[in-house]
Structures are given as structure tokens and as C-alpha cells.
Structure 1
Amino acid sequence: MKRVLFALLAYTFTFSVSAQVFNAYTPPTQKPPLHGKNWMAITGKPLAATAGAMTFQKGGNAVDAACAMIAATSTMWDVLSWGGETQAMIYNPNTKKVIAINALGVAPTGATPEYFKGKGLDYIPEYGPLAAVTPGTPGGIMVMLAEYGTMSLKEVLAPAMELAAGYPIEAQTANAIERGKSEIKKWPYSTKVFLTHPGEEREAPEAGEIFVQKDLLAMLTKLVETEQAALKKKKSRKEAIYAAYDRFYKGDIAKEIARGTQEQGGLITEQDLANWEVKIEEPMMVNYKGIDVYKLSQWTQGPALLQSLNMLENFDLKAMGYNSSKYIHTLYQVMSMAFSDRDFYYGDPYFGPEEPMKGILSKEYAKERVKQINWEMNDAKIGPGDPYPFEGKVNPYSELLKQKSQASLSAPDSYEDFMRGFLAGTTSVQTADKDGWVVSVTPSGGWIPACIAGNTGIGLSQRMQSFVLNEEEGPFNVVAPGKRPKVTLTPSMALKEGKPFLSFAVQGGDTQDQNLLQMFLNVVEFDMTIQEAVEAANINSYQVSSSFGNHESIPGSLLLRNDTPPWVQKELIRMGYKLRFDDRSSGPINAIYFDWKHGSFWGGSSNYGEDYGIGW
């Protein structure tokens, strides 16, 4: 009897293991999916998701909740501040269209290649006031709220103001302050806010300590007071919010931002702040097998995902098998091509010359690019293509393109420094409501160690480092006053049969559209649930040039999850890849799937970080 039982157990175990190998792309998830029928709120910190839930419970829509969550995450330094940038996509159920919000700051007066080279710099600094573009997040919140929300600024900022008055800081942020204190001490206003125990061995707050930001609270109070005064004068909700907007960018707050920045060596002027404005734009879109996928335009890296989909549409990915060596190789080569085009051709669409996005996103260009794939080995010298013929034009940078295509990609001196920038995190925000509003946001900028602008409590953005100083590195992305840098931040949305299908975003620097591309394919090609899709094993290519620091890359370097089968590893090594491993490789993806069959939302938040959400 014992022998029979042992044999049965052995058979059951063998079958179980075989089934798991066969269904390797649908393992049990470490987090349960979120469910809701009225609303969904997902972001990088539980407290910030609670801010969204509080807003929904008070009757707000998905835009109101998203604004409250951005404000909360900015106040909690997750991993951004009020001086950063906000880029969003909004689905408007009334017009049935996707709207793009461009709340990215611009390079200030005096920010020229000659200025930085005159300081002996090859690249714009990673930290400090010289890395700062003008603050965009306050404007982004107020424009989104005024145009598409339903609540007052006072109601939406209430959770953030309560956090600014004092909240129990979590270990991740507290320890980041301690690690970054040598930089923080260079800036007096940052020292005052962050180093709550000056002179002690640990000068940063402890985990769980009540972290108070008096200057930030005073700034937010000024915005609310301005709005409320306008309402008392019988101004409309929208007009009152824009009155607060004007105080921030043209009033006493702007004056203190400019003064405090310049005192510490920065360039931002009052006129820079007054001239800046949020742009409401048309997003870019491609159709992938009947699904319309939307991204922000070429001032972000978003179109690289769209271009990748155009190329991948030419293959039977499902037949290759999820994360087989052929599938991984195909993804790696396609992403290398799309991102090399990103590095060379993307930039601020409000500055000439016009970027060749029509050609880059054409199906014909995609077919031409995939013809160049080497199916036997990794091509470590993949460079940008020439999309101009696909829009009937001649490439004005043909000589630069030739140099770029012939150049060897340079590896960094320090792998640790490279990875810190390449994976630079921020947060993401996903909201949806029963009336059909959907919001996807990737706010960022002003991460720790941040330089705080005077007595405002506002941590300045470090986004100017994403510019280049030399035309050959990216002719559309050379720094200039009033220009927006090409950023990695990239919220996403997909519609199927004219209705929301997926809303998704992730933090993580240059890995963002790599991870989002694979998550999308996990759902569409490999039939994963949204929680399975956000936790599933992804690959990351470090052959992509970093948008941070010295803009380097590691040709052939490939991140795999630890449980990648040895036979897949062996084949990839044979193809010339340099393998690196991690126990989690999905990135902190947040996403909402719209279940029209049952009239509900599925929320997914990966097991990579602290991100999570609430549904109802």
C-alpha cells in the first residue's frame, strides 16, 4: 500500500511540475488581483492609493482621484516632488476620445550647450538646481482638474495637505534621504526639510517618524486660499482653479521659486515660469491586431512601444512560446531598433525641425526594419534607421545618421552608476470610474536627493539631464531655453472596439516601455489575467542608451528572471548575450483591465515594489 501511495504521489508531483513548465506563463501570482465595479485607484504607495479612495468616496470622478493621488505621491516623495513633471492620458467617455496631457517643464533661460560646456561639462548634471526644468506637476494637476474633474482644488488637495502636516514616513523614503544626505547638505533648504536629526549618526527621519513639511503645507494652503477667494467672488469652479494656477506660476510662489533656485546656482527665472503652460494634445496611436494602443508623442519614449508593436505584428509570437529563446531574441532586436530611433529622432515637437514620426510609426517602415534582424546572433551595433523616405522626404541628418550607425556603443565605467540612472524610479497612477473616465499617469521629477526651491517646500526636477549637448547624440534633443527634454515617462492606454481595454503604466527609467510592451503582449498574445501579466517574467535590454547621466549603454546585456530555464539561457549565451539575473524582472507595473462581459474592473499591481491599489 505504501509503495502504491508513493508511486501516486510521485506521479502527481511529476504531472504538477510538467504542467507548470507547460503553463510557465501563468504561474500563481504573489498578489491577488484587485476587483471593483464603481472605481479603481492604483499607485506607488498605499497611503496615496487611499487618497484616491477618499476622493472617490466623496463623489469625485477618476480625474479628481488621479489628481489627489499625484498630489499625495508628490508630497510623499514617491519618487518625485511638486517641482517635477506630470504626463497623463485621459479617456473622456463623453467624446469617446483619449486626451494627452503634457505638463513637462522646459529648460530655463541661459540653458544652452555653450553654458554647460563652459563649465567643463559633457553632460548636464544629474542633481541640483542646474538639472532643473520648470515645475510642471502643479500645473498638470490644476489643468486636469479644471478641464475634466468635478471637485474643487481644496477637496482634491486635502489628503496631500494632511500628509504635509505630518505623516509616518516609510522606510524606503527615509533610507533614501539618509543615503543621499551628502548631496542634500549642499542645499540649505533641502537640509532644513529632510535632515530632521542634524548632527546625529542618522540625520534622516526614521521609518514611522512623523515627517512634517511646513513650507510645502504653506504653499498648498496659498493655492487653496486663492481658489476659495475666487469662488467667493462668484468665479466658476474652473476659473477659481486657474486663479490658483496663476498664483503659482505668476505670483508670489513663482517669485520664491525663482529666487530660491537662483540663490543655489540654478537658472530658472520668474519669466520662465510665467511663460510656461500645460499642453493638451492628441496622443499617438497604432492598431495592433484590432486593438488601438495610445501613447504620448515624441517628447516621451512612448512611440517606441508603438513602433515595436508595428514590427512585432509581422511575427507569430504565440507560436514562438512565451520567453523562449526565439521570443526573447525577437523582442531584444525589435526594442534595440525602436529605441535607437528614439535616441536619434525624438525631441520637443514645439521646436523645429519636425521629427519624422509619421515615417517611424508607418507599417511599411516597420516591415523594412525587421528585414534587418540577424536571427542567429545579437547585433550589438544596431543603430537608427531612416524613416524619412516613408513620409516622402529626404533625411536632413543623413551624415549624422551615417556616423551614428557606424559608431560603437560605449559601455559605462561603473555598472552601479549606470543602473541607478537607467532604472530611475518614480511612480504611476491608474484610475477608472463607473461613468467611463479613465486616467493613466506617470508623474516624476524632484526625486531624492532633491534641491528644494527656497521656502516653498518644492523639490526641483532633475529632468534637464535627459537633454544632450551635442547634435550627433540626438539632433532633436539638444538643450535650448524654453525646450522640453525627451523623457522616459510613458503612460499607456488601449481601446478595443471603441471601448477602454487596458490602462497601464510603470516606473523605471529606460525600462518603462520595455516592461509595458511585454505586459501588453502577455495579455493579448498569451491570455494572461492582468495580475499574471504584471507579475510575469520580463526581459530588460541594457543595450538601450540611458536617458540619464552620461547616456551610456551595455551592448548585449540582457536581464532575465532567475527561473529562466537553463536551456534558454544556454541558447541566448550562444547568440552573444551577456546574461544578468534578478528574482523579479517585471518592474512595478500598475494596470487596469476593463471586463465588459461582467461590467467590472480588474486591477493589477506587480510584486516588484510597494505599489498597490484599492477598488470598490
Structure 2
Amino acid sequence: MKKTIITCLMVVLIMGTVFSQSTQKPPLHGKHWMAITGKPLGATAGAMIFSQGGNAVDASCAMLAAVCTMWDVLSWGGETQALIYNPHTKKVIAINAMGVAPTGATVEFYKEKGMAYPPEFGPLAATTPGTPGGLMTMLAEYGTMSLEQVLAPAMQMAKGYPIEAQTANMIENNKDKIKEWPYSKKVFLPHLGEEREAPHAGEIFVQEDLYNTLAKLVEAEKQALKKGKSRKEAIYAAYERFYKGDIAQEIVRGTREQGGLFTMEDLAKWKVKIEEPLTVNYKGIDVYKLQEWTQGPALLQSLNILENFDLKAMGYNSANYINTLYQAMSLAFSDRDFYYGDPDFGPKSPMKGLLSKEYAKERAKLIQEKNDETIGPGDPYPFQGETNPFLDLLSKRKDALAYDRPELPIQGPEDPFLAHFLAGTTSIQATDKEGWVVSVTPSGGWVPATIAGNTGIGLSQRMQSFVLDERLNPFNVLEPGKRPRVTLTPSMALKDGKPFLSFSIQGGDTQDQDLLQLFLNIVEFGMTVQQATEAANFHNYQIQSSFGAHESKPGSVELNTQIPAWVRNDLRNRGYKMNFLDRTSGPLNAIWFDWKHGTFWGGSSNHGEDYGIAW
């Protein structure tokens, strides 16, 4: 009994220090504006636009252009998804700039090549470019500046900027793959034949083809303005040149030359979608996510399930807390893996049932004292007054899952399994004194990327997130013109009708796991936003990966090395297989709104190179 009391006191003391401890990075404070993104130079680009009088949307577009130019694990040919709070309408808007599968990209095409999924790399991994259209749509509809103004920092960088070690070394480590594609080799490997063929850290990295592509967009805008077009119309003239003009022609030519499938019609037909986000209320806070073509609703489902438990009483990162969150994630993400897909294609995902509080209560009853490795998708259809038409597929689903193969333990930080789960992109957060708030999680076109001809545009690799077997997910089966169900997932929360928290992260299938824990760290445990971004999170590997071989490791959990021995022992007794990392928080970026003082608090985790600037 005495030993139990001492142990409990130690838990309280350790948990209590989380909330008072200093952070490794200082929190950001501002009252005029705030700009946070994945690279310091990217944040500087946002600050430059703010200093010229731009709003948060203008600054976000400048940061997006900059990080794409820096290859911050994405490029110009990737995809962009965003949530924007409009202070004039008091509403959250969703931006869907996800590319689609090209003509000829069919299940039969890839199966004939002996593939279980579309490939991870190369031209056959590419969806149509989405980021340029997303950037120009956001700027035209909600910004105040010209395209020329917001592209200026990126264009300066394309002319040459000092490349940082992370990207330079990534290029060197992937140079054999890069050499498979002639236009990628030309851009990425300036020292061909030398021992190090990639740029050196700090070397001026020049992308002349990309500069010329961006200059064509600015030229199209200028010509439209000379003809008397409005700011908005002129930006859309640049949009037309990218997707229907000479830029599109070179993208298609260069992609097809290297074995890709793009057609001019694929690019011309594609459009950015401005959508209504999905939302649930958690203890008086309205949380917003993109629709079910992303994994975002899984966070909403998790919150609905967790609302049925007293998380605060369990204690931050106690064994009970980790066990409860882990199984809530398993329940929500198993639904993601079977029911989520592009809502523009049939069948229609049962989102009303999936996001209902009643369905969540039934799912919550499945959480046990010990981990359940058999957790699978539920049946949300009765909770929207319908009968599930896919019960037969559900019964066959396990036969198609990758984790039915012999399971190998995680081999440490370099394990390829972890690389798929943790692979990053970047994230962008911005706000201003007028009240605009922007949360963006762009991605696609990461190194090693196939560059499309002489455009300097690195193509997306998002095709791999489709399935070719309907037993895995009848809503996400590959079809030409369809968007894959992606992991990308910006987040926003409102309280009393006003912005409360804007947050996003890079990191594949772990994104909504980290975002969920960030939110709970603030709401349940009273952490500041910077403490919450650095806090020790855990990762659930029971869910199915959206990349590579789409594997899963039931019962596997990644913990922070700070987790004490008695929590580890408790979790081991509950059936968990553990691996440990020193940093498990991110990289998370977030803005918290201090309405009492009329200021912004910014958080950027100590995990990677993410950085923020405020004024």
C-alpha cells in the first residue's frame, strides 16, 4: 500500500512538471501578425509580405511558394489543402487543391505491372499538380496582393539561395533514384561525377527552369492587368496559363516522355474546390477538418469517442491515458481505412453516421483494459438510418491486409516501416490583426521527385495512397479523375464563435495522432501552445499505413524516452510492443488566440526545422 502511494505521488509530481517546465524553444508572441512554417527562410517570406501590408492569406501564399521552392519535403507539383477563417463571414472555409489520378491510371493498368498499389516514386506515382492552383485560388479569393508580390521571395530563391543541410543531404542520399529521371538529375545534381554530386550545405542552389515557370505566371498576370482585368481576374489568367497554356504543355510532354500518363485534358479539367469543412463539438469547442478525401475526420471521430472518458483524471501520459487514446485512435482510423474516399465519386462515404455522437458512444464501449489488436471498422450506417451495403467486403477485409504477413519488430529510428509512417511534408500557420487565420498542410513532390520536363516542377507521389483492392476500401479504389484519400490534414478550432486554435503538422499517418494530442494537451491539461508542441506524444502503429506496402503493426506503440519505467511496465502488461524516440512531438505548428489580452501565442515544436516570426 505504501509503495502504491509513493508511486502515485511520483506520477503526480512528474505529470505536474510538464505544465510548469520551460520549453526548448521560446513561445512566439504577437499582436499584429504571426507566420510559422517548416523552414526559417519560409517564415521570413511570410514576414516580408506582412511587412508590406499583406494579410494572413497573402503571407501564407508567399510561405507556400517559398517552401515549395526550397523542396521542404514538397514541391510545386504537389498538393495543397487549407482551412481559412474569414473574419467577415465568421466562417471556416476549406480549400481542396488535391490533384487527381490521370487518364489511363486504372486498377487494371497497375495490376498488369504486378503492383499491389501504385508506386512510391516516379511518374506513375503522380497525381495532377494541385499546389499552383491552390495558391492562386486562395490568393485571388481571399488575399489582397498580386501574384507578382507574393511570388517575389520564391522567385528570388529560385535564382539562387543557400541550401540547408537537411535538403542537400536528402538529395545526396537519393541520388541513384534521381538519376533515373533526366530532368531531376539536371536540377538536383550540380556536381555529377564528383564524390558528392548533390549541392553542399550552404551552397547557392539555382533552379533556372523553375524561375522561368514562375516568371511566366507573373507575365500572364501582368498582361491581364494591362487589358483592364481586375486583380482577381489577372491571377486567374495566370492559373489558366499553368493548367491550359504552355506550362501545361511542357508538364504533359515532360511527364509522358518519362513514362507518365498526364494529358492536356487532365490538367485543363482539374479545378480547385472551395468546400464546407466537417466539424464536431468537443466540450464547447468546435473543431474543423477537411472532408473525407483526407484523414481529417478521424481526429473528429477520436474526439467524439474520447468525450466519453475523463481524460484529465487519468493524468497526462499515464498508462490508462495512453491505452484509452491508443484504442480510440485504432477505432477511428480503422473507419478511416475502410470508409473514407473522394466524395465526388461513388459510393458516398457514410460521414453522418461516422461523426454522430451515438456511433461514438457505441465505439467507446469497445475500449478495453488491455489493447485489442483485432479492432476493425465499425458499422456507421444504422446511425444515419441506412443499411450497410458493404458488410460482405468488411468480412473479407482482413484477407487483404498487409499486417497478415509475419510481423517483424520495429528496428529503430531508421526502420523503413517508421519512415513511411513519419515521412514529413511541411505546414503553414498564419494570422493577422484583421482576424484572418490560415492553416495549411501542403505536400507532394518530395525528394526524390520526378521533375516534369523543363518546368522545374517536381511531381506529386500521392497515387500510392489509392487502393487497388476494394476489400481494403471500396471508397478509395483508383479511378481516373479521382482524388486519393490523403493523410494531409490542417486543423482549426473555434470557441464561442471566435478562433481558439489553428494547428497543423507534417508526418504522414501520424499527423492526426499528434494533432489530437496537441489539442488535448491544451484543452485537458492546460499546457501553453509551445509546451503542447514539445510535449511527449506517442504514436499508434496498429493503423494501416497510407504509403508503400500499406503495412500495420497491431499493438505497436512508439513512446517518448521520458515515459517512466512503471508506465512502460503497465503498458507491456496490457499487450503493447514498444519502441522509443527522444522526440515524438512533431513537428507541430500552432497558433493559440489570447482573447483576454488581444494577442497571439505561437508554438513551433523542437522536433525539426520549423520556425515562426511574429510582430
Q: How would you bin the TM-score normalised by the shorter chain?
A: over 0.9
1:586 match: secondary structure: coil
The within-5 A match list for 1:188-587 is 188-375=182-369, 377-404=370-397, 409-410=403-404, 415=410, 416-587=415-586
Check conservation: 1:540, 1:560, Cα contact below 8 A. yes
C-alpha displacement at 1:251, in angstroms?
Answer: 0.3
Q: Which amino acid aligns with 2:599?
A: S
Q: Which amino acid aligns with 2:537?
A: N
Q: Which amino acid aligns with 1:217?
A: Y
Distance in 2 (CA, whole Å) between partners of 1:464 and 1:352 is 18
Check conservation: 2:465, 2:547, Cα contact below 8 A. yes
Q: How big is the alpha-carbon RMSD for the aligned residues of Structure 1 and Structure 2? A: 1.4
Check conservation: 1:310, 1:366, Cα contact below 8 A. yes
Cα distance change on mapping 1:606 and 1:405 into 2, 3 Å: same
> Residue deviations 1:546-603, cap 9 Å, x none?
0000111111110111010100000000001001101111110000000000000000
Distance in 2 (CA, whole Å) between partners of 1:313 and 1:372 is 14
Check conservation: 1:519, 1:533, Cα contact below 8 A. yes
Distance in 1 (CA, whole Å) between partners of 2:316 and 2:396 is 37
Distance in 2 (CA, whole Å) between partners of 1:479 and 1:447 is 22
Q: Which amino acid aligns with 2:551?
A: E
Matched, 1:600 2:599: yes
Segments of structure 2 that go 5 or more residues without pairing to the other structure are 1-8
Q: Which amino acid aligns with 2:532?
A: A
Greater mean alpha carbon deviation, residues 184-193 or residues 554-563: 554-563
Cα distance change on mapping 1:142 and 1:22 into 2, 3 Å: closer
C-alpha displacement at 1:372, in angstroms?
Answer: 1.2
Cα distance change on mapping 1:18 and 1:551 into 2, 3 Å: closer
Check conservation: 2:124, 2:259, Cα contact below 8 A. yes
Check conservation: 2:19, 2:526, Cα contact below 8 A. no
Q: Which amino acid aligns with 1:480?
A: E
2:404 match: secondary structure: coil
C-alpha displacement at 1:406, in angstroms?
Answer: 7.9
Check conservation: 1:285, 1:294, Cα contact below 8 A. yes
C-alpha displacement at 1:418, in angstroms?
Answer: 1.6
> Residue deviations 1:108-145, cap 9 Å, x none?
00000100001111111100000000000000000000
> Residue deviations 1:226-266, cap 9 Å, x none?
10111011100000000000000000000000000000000
Matched, 1:120 2:76: no
1:226 match: secondary structure: helix
C-alpha displacement at 1:19, in angstroms?
Answer: 4.5
> Residue deviations 1:469-526, cap 9 Å, x none?
0100111001100000000000000000000000000000000000000000000000
Check conservation: 1:382, 1:405, Cα contact below 8 A. no
C-alpha displacement at 1:544, in angstroms?
Answer: 1.0
Check conservation: 1:25, 1:322, Cα contact below 8 A. no
Distance in 1 (CA, whole Å) between partners of 2:388 and 2:253 is 43
Segments of structure 1 that go 5 or more residues without pairing to the other structure are 1-14
Check conservation: 2:15, 2:316, Cα contact below 8 A. no
Distance in 1 (CA, whole Å) between partners of 2:471 and 2:236 is 41
**In the alignment, which residue of structure 1 is the partner of 2:100?**
106
Check conservation: 2:400, 2:471, Cα contact below 8 A. no
C-alpha displacement at 1:24, in angstroms?
Answer: 3.5
> Residue deviations 1:376-423, cap 9 Å, x none?
x11111100000000011111111112236877336669522222111
Q: Which amino acid aligns with 1:213?
A: Q
Distance in 1 (CA, whole Å) between partners of 2:397 and 2:161 is 50
Q: Which amino acid aligns with 1:396?
A: P
C-alpha displacement at 1:16, in angstroms?
Answer: 12
Check conservation: 2:37, 2:63, Cα contact below 8 A. yes
1:432 match: secondary structure: strand
The within-5 A match list for 1:16-31 is 19-20=13-14, 22-31=16-25
C-alpha displacement at 1:273, in angstroms?
Answer: 0.2
Check conservation: 1:384, 1:404, Cα contact below 8 A. no
**In the alignment, which residue of structure 2 is the partner of 1:61?**
55
Distance in 2 (CA, whole Å) between partners of 1:420 and 1:612 is 23
1:67 match: secondary structure: helix
Distance in 2 (CA, whole Å) between partners of 1:78 and 1:17 is 39
Check conservation: 2:15, 2:315, Cα contact below 8 A. no
Check conservation: 1:142, 1:242, Cα contact below 8 A. yes
Distance in 2 (CA, whole Å) between partners of 1:156 and 1:91 is 20
Check conservation: 1:492, 1:504, Cα contact below 8 A. yes
The within-5 A match list for 1:62-81 is 62-81=56-75
Check conservation: 1:410, 1:554, Cα contact below 8 A. no
Check conservation: 2:591, 2:601, Cα contact below 8 A. yes
Distance in 2 (CA, whole Å) between partners of 1:108 and 1:81 is 19
Distance in 2 (CA, whole Å) between partners of 1:565 and 1:356 is 41
TM-score by length of 2: 0.96
Q: Which amino acid aligns with 2:397?
A: K
Distance in 2 (CA, whole Å) between partners of 1:466 and 1:480 is 12
Q: Which amino acid aligns with 2:438?
A: V
Check conservation: 2:78, 2:460, Cα contact below 8 A. yes
Cα distance change on mapping 1:162 and 1:414 into 2, 3 Å: farther
TM-score by length of 1: 0.96
Percent of matched pairs sharing the same residue: 72
Cα distance change on mapping 1:413 and 1:22 into 2, 3 Å: closer
Check conservation: 1:383, 1:404, Cα contact below 8 A. no
Distance in 1 (CA, whole Å) between partners of 2:281 and 2:122 is 41
Distance in 1 (CA, whole Å) between partners of 2:408 and 2:191 is 35
Cα distance change on mapping 1:405 and 1:614 into 2, 3 Å: same
**In the alignment, which residue of structure 2 is the partner of 1:4?**
none
**In the alignment, which residue of structure 1 is the partner of 2:179?**
185
Q: Which amino acid aligns with 2:373?
A: A
**In the alignment, which residue of structure 1 is the partner of 2:3?**
none
C-alpha displacement at 1:611, in angstroms?
Answer: 0.2
Matched, 1:159 2:158: no
